[in-house]
Structure 1
């Protein structure tokens, strides 16, 4: 028993020494330090926030999009322009080879452009002076050009035909002659008429004298005979005068017929010429639409996948794109339906272009401007305005090219680390 008591007393002293010894500072303040650290982590987790993003494909384009010029036929293409050339609307960019000789086409185009600007009177004069070639190779426009050429030649032959002038001159001279004859007959008629009046007075006088038996019957007969002769002379002159008038009317009728026929034939020739010019113009327009590559808008030329003359193109193939000058730029972002409920107008968008590494050039910044209500093929085509155009966050200007593609990040909202951890735990618990 004594040994046990001594042992208990001995252990009690060791325990007492342990209890009496002061704990180290780590033991005294460790819990507080851990609490403070945990508290700081919680505070930091709530303070540190970073955004949620929706990743999507993007394409930078212009408000007036680049317009593609397509080939209407199969064949070899030849260009009049080069990449990045500035062109006006309607400028000819090139052509697809066909049976038409281009030099001959340009000749006819200039000729028609010159003729169509003229008034009718000027056109009639110029058609007699302008030389028109017939040895042209115009392919599909050949029938219309030959019709135009024949119409011009017929008009020239008609104008240069002298037979109408000879015939007109003949009738004019005849009219002049008949006019002189008519005037002469009229003067003779006046003289005969005066002589007739004198003969009538003489006869009446002689008749009175005969009744008084002053003159003989023979003298009265002579007076009557003179009167009758004057009357016959007047009738003859009247007949000649009527005949001269008929001749002159016939001459005037023939002159009128020649003028009328000439004007009618000239009008028909001019109408035929005008119709042939219109047909040729239509044929040229159709040919241009088929074989020429024409700029639909003013802008910059971008040749699509073709770099040299003579390359083959197929019908419907895009050959050239014309990008409008100084058109406002924006981005189309194709957001998947999944997660698209977070989209809101005004959200920030960062765009990294495929052709320009963002580590070197930076990213384009923009804002969501429009969100369509209906998705197409599982995608929403979201319109994004560019804050600084093609200037990146690194203050570098990227040259615009049509339909530049890239990747977009739409910043939907910012959330703290603590909130994300809580959301993850909540998701696990709900499972």
Structure 2
């Protein structure tokens, strides 16, 4: 930028000699100094008491501000959305599938009992047939295996999507009954036992023969010893001695043969016993496998029936009163996830409870026992006031970035303006949580510390 040059004429000072010609100033810095001098000359020098008391006033003002910052306290207000309900809240019933409401057995505000059938959504199965099958399965599921083979399952049932599971069950039941009642293994076991009995009798006979033969051997051995003595006296020939000895050896061979045969019979009896054990084990294993499979089929079919009931039946979850959120008629089409009705609990719903969802931001400041001002959406707080509550509990872990707060509500909804509010289930509003009071000075210092440490 170009520097602009200005020309000023400086009046002559009284302390200087008068000069005929005025001095011309062209330097910019000299011009500024000259301007300050001219302003000072116009205003004059301020009195010293103004400077002295001005500093004192500024100091006192700063001290007053610090004192106010120390004395004045106010809390942080943390908002959270809140829904008012009760300890035993009403239960909303939603359609689990889409279709026509084939059966509607209740009316609005009708009293009901737990597990009462309220309606049926149209499907390909007959409710009465499904109920009959469920009753039959619950009756036989705890029966012993030998009794399962004797049961007669119901026929001619209209089961719709449950038909495949029922067919598998009936097939396994028929197989089990056939296996339980067939006599093939029993015949084999009886035949083996007969063989064992026959071999046992043979061994008894062989044992008797062995005893008789042992006596004959003893006689033959005595005769042989006598022949040997007579041979020494030359009373008998050597051939006669050899014949006596041969007779002894032959009898011993026959005895050994009988003993071997009896031993073989014992081994055969052991083999037959093992065969019988195998047949019994195979029968028992097959019976157990088929019994377990049949039990599993029963449980699977009961599980499928339960899923069918949850999908198509509208059952009362508890005693209470029916409330229709909208007009509901028989043969009306309902969509999956659509609210069909609400069950209001019977015999009182307990104390009022506020469920608030607190965002994670600033959630660390919220503690149990803190006061809460609830602004109900349906009752503008400028006109009706707010409802007082306190924080009863806070969830340990967040869900979806929010903590669940349970608020302790008063027995009656009376606002700070003294206006009573009629409670309705699931009233919504904003809960302003009042945290601990903090001084203004602390808040200012916190900001400075944050700037210093987090830069």
TM-score, normalised on structure 2?
0.58
**Superposed CA offset, 1:375-394 (max 9, x none):** xxxxxx9979454589xxxx
- 1:111 aligned to which of 136, 146, 150: 136
| 1:353-410 Cα distance to aligned partner (Å, 9 max, x none) | 9xxxxxxxxxx999421599xxxxxxxx9979454589xxxxx9x8x864579x9xxx
2:218 to 179, 197, 209: 197
| Contact 2:224–2:245 (CA under 8 A) maintained in structure 1 | yes
Structure-2 separation of matches of 1:265 and 1:314: 48
Deviations 1:283-302 (A, max 9, x none): 22322232222444554332
Distance 1:184 1:301, change over 3 A: farther
Q: Aligned with 1:129: secondary structure?
A: coil
Give 1:307 shift. Answer: 4.4
Query: Following superposition of structure 1 onto structure 2, how do residues 341-360 of structure 1 map, counting pairs within 5 Å?
Result: none
Q: Does 1:279 align with 2:275?
A: no
How far the C-alpha of 1:212 sits from its partner, in A, is 2.4
**1:253 partnered with 2:274:** yes
Tell me whether 1:317 sits opposite 2:338 in the alignment: yes
User: What is the CA distance between 1:80 and its match in structure 2?
Assistant: 4.6
CA contact under 8 A between 1:368 and 1:383: conserved in structure 2? no
SS in 1 for 2:173: helix
Checking the alignment, whether the CA contact within 8 Å between 2:146 and 2:180 is kept in structure 1 is no
Higher relative contact order (CA 8 A, sep 6+): 1
- 2-side partners of 1:403 and 1:350: how far apart? 11
Query: How far does residue 267 in structure 1 lie from its aligned partner after superposition?
Result: 2.1
TM-score by length of 1: 0.61
Q: CA 1:383/1:247 → structure 2, altered by over 3 Å: closer, same or farther? A: closer
**Shift of the alpha carbon at 1:332?**
9.5
1:66 aligns with 2:90: yes
Aligned CA RMSD, in angstroms, stands at 4.2
Q: Is the Cα–Cα contact under 8 Å of residues 365 and 386 in structure 1 kept in the other structure?
A: no
2:3 — aligned with what? Answer: none
CA displacement, residues 174-226 of structure 1 (integer Å, 9 cap, x when unaligned): 11111111122122223222332332233123212222223344542442242
* Corresponding residue for residue 388 of structure 2: 368
For the residues of structure 1 that align with 2:99 and 2:263, how far apart are their CA atoms?
80
Q: Does 1:84 align with 2:110?
A: yes
Q: SS at 1:319's partner residue?
A: strand
Matched, 1:98 2:119: no
CA positional deviation for 1:318: 0.5
Consecutive unaligned residues of structure 1, counting only runs of 5 or more, are 1-57, 334-343, 354-363, 373-380, 391-395, 408-431
Q: Say which of 222, 230, 236 aligns to 1:209.
A: 230
* Mapped partners of 1:241, 1:382: distance in 2: 89
1:187 is aligned to 2:208? yes
Q: CA deviation at 1:123?
A: 2.7
Q: Structure 2 unaligned runs (5+)?
A: 1-81, 357-369, 393-404, 415-419, 430-455
Matching residue of 2:352? 329
Q: CA deviation at 1:63?
A: 3.7
What is the alpha-carbon distance in structure 1 between the residues aligned to residue 212 and residue 390 of structure 2?
109
Match of 1:267 among 288, 300, 308: 288
1:331·1:386 contact (CA, 8 Å) conserved in 2?
A: no
Tell me the SS of whatever aligns to 2:144: helix
2:250 is the alignment partner of 1:229: yes
8 A contact 1:70–1:316 mirrored in 2: yes
Structure-2 residue corresponding to 1:242? 263
Match of 1:126 in 2: 147
Residue 23 of structure 1: aligned partner? none
